[in-house]
Each structure stands twice: as C-alpha cells, then as structure tokens.
Amino acid sequence: MKNSKIIGLGHYVPEQVVTNADLEKIMNTTNEWIVERTGIEERRWFTPGKDTVSNMGTRATKIALERAGLEAKDIDFIVFATITPDYFFPGSGVLLQRELGLQGIGALDIRNACSGFIYALSIADQFIKTGMYKTVLVVGAEIQSSALDKSDEGRSSSVIFADGAGAAILQATDDEGILSTHLHADGDYAEELYVQDPGSSRKTRLSKEMIDGKTFNLTMNGSAVFKHAVVRFSEVIVEALKQNGYNPEDIDLLVPHQANLRISNFVQKQFKMPDEKVYNNIMHYGNTTAASIPIAMSEAWEKGKIKEGDLLCLAAFGSGFTWASALIRW
Ligand code: ACO
C-alpha cells in the first residue's frame, strides 16, 4: 500500500486588511479587548465582485501546483472544505474544478467547519492509500465576513472570523507521509456554534423573521467553545502521538487551527512546547475556519519552518462539535 505525502502548499488571502482600529469605527469595541481575548490584530475581508470562496481556492491551488512542480491536469480528485460555499448548492468543489479546467474529475465538499481541512486531508489520504487516486487536491477556503453580525450584539464573534484560502496537493509515495489522521464529532453541541439559516427544516428558507432574528448570522457560545476546545485539542494530539509511538517533544511543528490565540497558547502550555514549535498567524488573519490550517502550513513552509524529515502535527476543533488531528512526516 502506498502512503500519501503533501508535495505542494499554497495560500491566498483577500487584499482588504481590516485592523482592530477599523472595527472600532463600526462597532463598540477596542483594540485592547480584541487583542487580550483573541490575539487578533488584523484580518482579511473579501471584496465583493472580486473574491469568492472558489476563486480564492483556485488562486491558492495554482501556487500549490507550482510549488509541487505539477499542472492542474495532474490532479485526479478534489476535496474542498468550506462552510461558506459560493452557492447554497452545488458545492464549491465543482466551481473550483471548472476554474481549473478539470471538467470530469470528481469533486467533494466537506462541511466540517474548523475541522474541515483535516477531515478533507484524511479523505484524500484514504483515497491515495487504497490506490483509487494518485494525486488529490485538498482545499480549505472561507468567506465568513459576509455572515457576521457586525452590530454591538454580534461583536464577540464578528471580531474573530475572517476570510482566506489554502491548498495542499497530496500525492502517492513509497516514503512516509501522512502517518495517521483522527476524526471525531459530538452532535450534542451542534447549536453551540452554528448558523441556523437557510435551514431546510424550516417552513420556508427565507423569511423576514429570519432576517430580523439574525439567524443567518453566526451564533457562538464562546465559553462553551473554549472549554471543549482546550480538552479536545489535547486529547486528539495525544491520540495521534500514541498511535505512532511518539511523545510531545518529538513534534517539530504543531500547526493548530487558528481559533483564538488563547486556545493555542493553552494547548502549547499543556504540552510544554517552546514557541518555535507552534505556528500561529491568527494575529494577521483572524480565524478563517477551514482555511486556517492550510494558510498557516503554507506560510510556515514559506518561512522555512517546515523541513524535510520534520514531524508535523495538525490539530483542530470546531462547530459540530468536531475535532481532528493529523501526524505527518514531511
Ligand atoms: N469588544 C468589546 N467588548 C466586548 C466585545 C468586543 N468585541 N465582545 C463582547 N464584549 C463584552 C461583552 O459585552 C461583555 O461585557 P459585560 O461583561 O459588560 O456584559 C464582556 O465583553 C464579556 O463578553 P462575553 O461575550 O462573555 O465574552 P468572553 O469574555 O466570553 O469573550 C470570546 C468572548 C473571546 C469569544 C471568548 O468566549 C473566547 O475566547 N471563546 C473561545 C471560543 C473562540 O475563540 N471561538 C472562536 C473560534 S471557534 C473555533 O474556531 C472553534
């Protein structure tokens, strides 16, 4: 059986930089509050008419392809992680496939929020390990800024979420690569972090009541998310290490989902990891949900922080609740 290996990474973030000072002008907040609670200093918001989830995914993919030394036609299958697709349906995977000129190959959308990229990576890894495909594109991309409640009522979450895209090209290899992936969910907590509408179980998909009730906006129980996230992040990292016979000190780089700097710092402390072994960039990009891990990995790779032979650990927690990890020999 073959393994799968990441052979190219790329990311794209919208040009529009929104600083905490910009947010101070549109809602009752302060730079101090945002930095202290989340670590975020600035984030990117999309430009309507220019950026879409699928075209940002395409831009990230083109960079990843170039770095992998491949062309789009080398891709056999697409797994696209997003909870903010361009359309209600079809998924953004088919739009990305069309933009890449790959009509005919399969494209699958994954809706597992902040854990979406690791779920997508796991699926791509399984397809390669079973021999079904040789080269699989995995994308995480989101436009969160258009569904945030930017009034004072929604300020505790609207200062956190943002937009961007990242891509990884996986290819079959006889060497080590993705060592294992670990996927979990607990639907008991589905409503602790969610966007209710346009939900199909409602009498109608669009009503004035929904708009007035802001049920199209993201709703989050911040303290419940924090409490569960710190436990699940740690559990799923330990699970990955144990399965492969490693200890926390064997990790060369931990790339956590960029949920909130306080959550990343908490996890880092639990494993007594030095700063240089944990990659965080939430300060500049905010929380980009399924895009955060591939953006962080791509940026870490650009900065030379991921080297041949390194042991990389990815970990995520998000809406669902879902949580996941991946251990990778680079
Ligand atoms: N600016 C200024 N004040 C604010 C803001 C804001 N943006 N938002 C809320 N406040 C005020 C509130 O009105 C409240 O004031 P009061 O005490 O006078 O009533 C006070 O700050 C505390 O409000 P809470 O909503 O309880 O905010 P909390 O202290 O819980 O912080 C936060 C919110 C940062 C989201 C916190 O719950 C947290 O860190 N949660 C972790 C979850 C998380 O990071 N989620 C995002 C990622 S989800 C994911 O990726 C898995």
pLDDT in tens, 284-319: 999 999 999 999 999 999 999 999 999 999 999 999
pLDDT in tens, 15-24: 999 999 999 9
> Does the CB atom of residue 159 touch ligand 1 within 6 A?
yes
The predicted structure's pLDDT at residue 1:
73
For residues 63-85, give the mean pLDDT: 98
pLDDT in tens, 208-245: 999 999 999 999 999 999 999 999 999 999 999 999 99
Choosing among 3.40.1010.10, 3.40.50.2000, 1.10.150.120, 3.40.47.10, the CATH entry for 3-175 is 3.40.47.10
Mean model confidence pLDDT for the chain: 97
> Does the CB atom of residue 318 touch ligand 1 within 6 A?
yes
For residues 60-73, give the mean pLDDT: 98
- Centre of ligand 1 from the C-alpha of residue 53, in Å: 27
What is the chain's Cα-based Rg? 19
Domain spans, the chain: 3-175, 180-329
For residues 38-51, give the mean pLDDT: 98
The predicted structure's pLDDT at residue 89:
96
Residue with tokens 């930095």: 35
Choosing among 3.40.47.10, 3.40.50.280, 3.40.50.1370, 3.30.70.20, the CATH entry for 180-329 is 3.40.47.10
pLDDT in tens, 157-212: 999 999 999 999 999 999 999 999 999 999 999 999 999 999 998 889 899 999 99
Handedness of CA 209, 210, 215, 216 (dihedral sign): negative
Equal CATH topology for 3-175 and 180-329: yes
Q: Do β-strands 322-329 and 311-318 pair in parallel, antiparallel, or remain unpaired?
A: antiparallel
Between helices 116-129 and 292-302, what is the axis angle to 10°?
80
Which of 112, 114, 217, 313 is catalytic? The answer is 114
d(CA 319, CA 317): 7
- Centre of ligand 1 from the C-alpha of residue 222, in Å: 6
